[in-house]
Amino acid sequence: MDNFKFHVYTEIFFGKGEIKNLPATLSKYGKNILFAYGGGSIKKNGIYDKVMSLLSEKFNVVEFANIEPNPSLDSVKRGVELCRTHAIDVILAVGGGSVIDCTKAVAAAFYYEGDPWDLVLDSRKITKALPIVTVLTMAGTGSEMNRGSVISNKDQKLKLGMGAPTTLPQATFIDPTYLYSLPPMQTAAGAADTFSHVLESYFKKGEDAFIQDKMSEAVMLTVIKYAPIALKDPENYAARANLAWASSLALNGLTGNGKSGAWSVHSIEHELSAYYDLTHGVGLAIIIPAWMKHILNEQSVDRFVSMGVNVFKISDQLDKMEIAKKAIEAMEQFFTSLGIPMKLSEVGVDEEKFELMAEKAVKYGALKHAYVPMTKEDVIQIYQLCK
């Protein structure tokens, strides 16, 4: 197992009604709050009113609304401006990964004189960040308990990750009832995203990281059990609670630390959302089975066998390659059963940019360091398999 440092200081308030602790948590940082949210779902489901009722008496609240899915650099700049104008002490992000990610970039760029995009291109330039508190409304990205932030530069068609120890949220509120109003496609996309995070770790180098791989399998089993329940019965508390906690655990370092190498599927997907503004989890679900088919060989087969036997409960008595192929089939069937469109043609992506996207995926994703190293041609073949 590789050496690693693990320091995840985010205080988690988990469960129904825990939002009552929000005022006390925010008051540790000051009175001037930037209240960040997305396109308005929180106004429909009552979360906006709840937050406002808790804050309006004690705090000066400045609203930062309309943060879009796949948050843009322009939104980051807008947020920085608000923070400077109103001498903000702490940022409250209420939403999914997009809102939370945007606020991380705002928090860091607040202390940076140049263009915030510099920080995305080189996170070593992040020196400080405003404190961030989050209220999660969508499970999937794990942004609520990690330092990462993915920002889209719409002019340059680039979607890249940034992050530093200081961009980790100070506290996160996870009330599973806040996820009840998620549309089915977002529930499914979030489940696919959580699954993909542990899958990426599972397919990192480091065969002796047994404990990490067992935790990853636990997350996969949780998603397989509870995503269909949440889709059928959106107000099932156990399903929402398990999916939400799985989301946080999947990408807070627990399963990836101690293993090395680059992720594969995320870099290939980020190009799709950069060029086509695709929902991240949908893009991942489309790419995963094709990527698996592409990297399956005599050297990688044992990973597939572990997953097939331990997660998809395929008999270990079968031939290794047969288990692997059945595992890929089961993966594809699972995403299909969640109602996710499984072809690029179904989500408005044609062949036109395959080459360009493949080139960028290899460049920005360091795919030559992946579990099975990949070139531009490999990525083009993967896109071709998804047509």
- Which positions touch Zn ion (CB under 5 A)? 193
The half-sphere exposure of 68 on its side-chain side, counting CA atoms within 13 A, is 16
Q: Which of 79, 96, 131, 365 binds ligand NZQ (CB under 6 A)?
A: 96
- For ligand NZQ, the closer of residues 45 and 381 by Cβ is 45
Tell me if 306 contacts ligand NZQ by CB under 6 A: no
- For ligand NZQ, the closer of residues 96 and 365 by Cβ is 96
Query: Does the CA dihedral 192-295-269-102 come out positive or negative?
Result: positive
Contact flags string 227-246 toward ligand NZQ, x per CB under 6 A:
--------------------
Contact flags string 114-153 toward ligand NZQ, x per CB under 6 A:
-----------------------xx-xxxx--x-xxx---
Tell me if 308 contacts ligand NZQ by CB under 6 A: no
Given phi > 0 = left and psi -120 to 50 = alpha, else beta, which region is 253? Answer: left
Report the 10 Å Cβ neighbour count for 346. Answer: 12
Burial of 130 (0-12, 13-18, 19+ CB in 10 A): buried
Report residue 243 as tokens: 């999916």
- For ligand NZQ, the closer of residues 49 and 207 by Cβ is 49
- For ligand NZQ, the closer of residues 141 and 310 by Cβ is 141
Tell me if 353 contacts ligand NZQ by CB under 6 A: no
Tell me if 10 contacts ligand NZQ by CB under 6 A: no
Strands 32-36 and 90-95: what pairing?
parallel
Q: With CB cut-offs between 5 and 8 Å by kind, which of Zn ion, ligand NZQ, none does residue 179 bind? A: ligand NZQ
* Footprint (CB under 6 A) of ligand NZQ, residues 15-74: 38-42, 45, 69-70
Write out the H or E segment, with its range, that includes residue 190.
Answer: helix 184-202
Q: What sections of 68-183 are H helices per DSSP?
A: 73-85, 97-109, 116-121
Report the candidate in 119, 137, 138 with the shortest Cα–Cα distance to residue 129.
119
The footprint of ligand NZQ (CB under 6 A) covers 38-42, 45, 69-70, 95-99, 101, 137-138, 140-143, 146, 148-150, 178-179, 181-182, 186, 190, 193, 251, 266, 280-281
